Amino acid sequence: MMSVYRLKSAEAVASERAESKGAGSGTDAMRRELRGTADSVVKLRNVSVQYGSSRVLDNVSLDCAPSEFLVLIGQSGCGKTTILNLLAGLLTPSAGQISVLGETSIKARQRMAYMFARDALMPWRTAQRNVEYGLYVHGVPRAERSARARDMLERVGLGVCASMYPWQLSQGMRQRVALARTWALEPQLLLMDEPFAALDAQTKVKMRAEFAQMWERSRPSVVFVTHDLTEALLLADRIMVVKAGRIESETIVQFDRPRKLEDLVDDVEFRKMERELRSRLE
Ligand SMILES: Nc1ncnc2c1ncn2[C@@H]1O[C@H](COP(=O)(O)OP(=O)(O)O)[C@@H](O)[C@H]1O
Ligand SMILES: [Mg+2]
């Protein structure tokens, strides 16, 4: 199993970015190219967010390439959700530039989906109608909404629950409905804020694996927030550690996919990366 990885300081990342305009060769140059500015799905440039006198994000720059799975990890309150809210166009920065899918985040909304830790289903709508709602917002015609919602519920194993209401479903099932709703939109960019955090340990492992499998089939770009290191290493192409409103470091993760927790827990590189990331978080 291949397990190449790199851990770099923010300074190294910045100087590499500066260099990347010059010549380069080999895999590193290709990676820089991939993460370069031209075809990035997400571009944050020197973005700051200030609430009164407190600076929540301080000069953050990041890119997400097409089909890249980018994970942001960091302690509670470090600014992870704020970054997602900026990308979703729910928040405007105090300084800096943002581009999403080649346009402003507000204009790009129709092509992205945002999934939260809490399922945020509408209690007065059945599972089927909750999934349809996202499609409705995105302007999908009624007949197609119904068929696509049904299909997505089948795919997350909830075909038989289509006519049930959220209160009739377990937390895990509700989060599956939310996943179906998100996926039904066929987003080019998926924003996910600790989507599995509220689930019990077993359900979390199962849903994460199902989600990874779905992602591997169509590979939309993902910006995924978690504070779970193992989850980050299982899913990410690249992990950025956010610390007190800044990008502290960046790690490229290249374990073969599909990644199985059972295989990776005993992998020396995996354990080493986990240790190093943990020390960076502290
Ligand atoms: N609307 C707001 N007004 C003032 N402070 C806020 C607001 N939203 C978030 N914050 C603060 O910004 C910081 C980062 O929040 P957030 O991005 O939610 O962190 P994370 O998702 O990493 O836990 C926190 O200290 C939080 O209290
Ligand atoms: Mg948060």
Instruction: Choose which residue among 51, 194, 243 to substitute to test ligand 1 binding: the one with the highest number of ligand atoms within 8 A of its C-beta.
Output: 51
Domain ranges, residue 110? 5-123+165-281
4 bridge partner residues:
none
273 bridge partner residues:
none
In a domain? residue 192: yes
In a domain? residue 13: yes
Q: Are strands 5-9 and 42-51 parallel, antiparallel or unpaired?
A: unpaired
Instruction: Choose which residue among 56, 83, 114, 248 to substitute to test ligand 1 binding: the one with the highest number of ligand atoms within 8 A of its C-beta.
Output: 56
Domain count, the chain: 1
Spatial contact of 19 and 45, defined as CB atoms under 8 Å apart: no
Q: What is the edge-to-edge ordering of all strands in the sheet holding 69-73?
A: 5-9, 246-253, 238-243, 69-73, 221-226, 189-193, 112-115
Which pLDDT score, from 0 to 100, does residue 7 have?
Answer: 52
Distance from C-alpha of 47 to C-alpha of 42, rounded to nearest angstrom: 13
Q: What is the CA radius of gyration of the chain?
A: 19
Using alpha carbons, list the distances in angstroms from residue 277 to 86, 148, 170, 197: 25, 40, 33, 19
Tens of pLDDT, residue by residue, the chain (282 residues): 333 454 555 555 455 555 544 433 344 444 444 444 568 999 999 999 999 999 999 999 999 999 999 999 999 999 999 999 999 999 999 999 999 999 999 999 989 999 987 778 999 999 999 999 989 988 899 999 999 999 999 988 899 999 999 999 998 899 899 999 999 999 999 999 999 988 888 888 988 998 999 999 999 999 999 989 999 999 999 999 999 999 999 999 999 999 998 899 999 999 999 999 999 998
Does ligand 1 lie within 6 Å of residue 105's CB atom?
no
Q: Which of 184, 202, 103, 95 is nearest to 148 (CA)?
A: 184
Does ligand 1 lie within 6 Å of residue 81's CB atom?
yes
In a domain? residue 35: yes
Which pLDDT score, from 0 to 100, does residue 22 have?
Answer: 41
Which pLDDT score, from 0 to 100, does residue 37 have?
Answer: 52
CATH classification at residue 187? 3.40.50.300
Ligand nearest to the CA of 91: 1
In a domain? residue 133: no
Centre of ligand 2 from the C-alpha of residue 259, in Å: 26
In a domain? residue 177: yes
Sign of CA dihedral 134, 137, 142, 148: negative
The reply to whether the predicted model has a pTM over 0.75 is yes
